[in-house]
Amino acid sequence: MPHPRTVILAATAVAASLALTACGSGEPAKSADSAPKKLSGEQRTITEPVIPIPQLQDSPQPQGGYGVVVCNNVNFSGCDNVPLYKEDAPEDFNNNTSSLKNPTPFSVTFYDNSNFSGDSITLKPHQELVSLNPSGAEKGINDRISSWQPQVETRAGEKAVLKVCTDNDLAGQCEDVPIAEGSAQLNDSISSIQNTSDFDVTFYADKGWRGQGITMPAHTYVRSIDPDGINSGLNDMISSWQPILSN
């Protein structure tokens, strides 16, 4: 039979242990500021079947073969067919455009400043405007256009349908991006891609859908753009992308 004093000491030790458990481990509590923070660019979930890196193309069809028509005068006079994406309008048309034609399957937004800023007007697919200021008032954008870019999501019916990440396996800094970008926010930083859209998408080495490229089929995932580490792909080189659409 245990000695009474031994029982009392054991009971005291158990009580002390329970008190320590209730109050914590005895270490200083970590402040909210010291706790790990989730980044908006955290790793994405893989939902599509993995495919090998697509074959590198030296010259994919630039800008999908599409362009818009800008005119110096109303009623489509003094016109030229120009690229679909322009950070700075050509000199002849910068602040000197009075009518527009959009023969493409994309909606295209025209801005009164360079680099896609300021007041804007958007033409729907295949829309034409004989005058940018039909009322004669200063409310229009006549002789003010300085840049333009496509808004492909209106055609695709989807916005954030691509997952692009700076590391392999959809890790590192990641972003959910529209199906078309003429100038990527993660420029020259992308190492893995997931295409959750219903469209094949071409990714280009240069801004404005130019340079070498790879085309990813709809609903596919490439875990590494440069799996061999020998620049066989477009690892850390992608600057723009667009879907392959039919007219």
Structure letter (DSSP) for residue 50:
B
Domain count, the chain: 2
Structure letter (DSSP) for residue 174:
E
pTM above 0.85?
Answer: no
The pLDDT assigned to 69 comes to: 96
Could you tell me if residue 201 is inside a domain?
A: yes
Query: Over its length of 247 residues, how does the chain's per-residue pLDDT go in tens digits?
Result: 444 444 344 444 434 333 333 333 333 333 333 333 333 566 788 899 899 888 888 877 655 556 899 999 999 999 999 887 788 899 999 999 999 999 987 788 999 998 888 999 999 989 999 998 766 544 578 999 999 887 755 444 455 588 999 999 999 999 888 777 777 778 888 999 999 988 888 999 888 788 888 999 999 999 988 766 554 578 888 988 888 765 4
67 φ, ψ (degrees, to nearest 5): -155, 170
The pLDDT assigned to 20 comes to: 32
The pLDDT assigned to 128 comes to: 96
Could you tell me if residue 20 is inside a domain?
A: no
Which among 101, 94, 103 has a CA at the least distance from the CA of 131? 101
Could you tell me if residue 3 is inside a domain?
A: no
Which among 109, 107, 181, 180 has a CA at the least distance from the CA of 145? 109
Of the candidates 96, 126, 152, which is a domain's last residue? 152
29's CB contacts (< 8 A; 6+ apart) are: none
The pLDDT assigned to 245 comes to: 63
Token readout for 23 is 């109050």
Could you tell me if residue 13 is inside a domain?
A: no
The CATH number of the domain where 198 resides is what? 2.60.20.10
The pLDDT assigned to 228 comes to: 63
State the residue range of the domain holding 225: 156-243
The pLDDT assigned to 242 comes to: 82
Which among 116, 127, 129 has a CA at the least distance from the CA of 89? 116
Spatial separation of the C-alpha atoms in residues 97 and 41, rounded to whole Å: 40
The secondary structure element, H or E, covering residue 67 is strand 67-73
* Same-domain pairing of 144 and 80: yes
* Same-domain pairing of 142 and 211: no
Could you tell me if residue 28 is inside a domain?
A: no
The pLDDT assigned to 38 comes to: 36
Which among 50, 59, 62 has a CA at the least distance from the CA of 193? 50
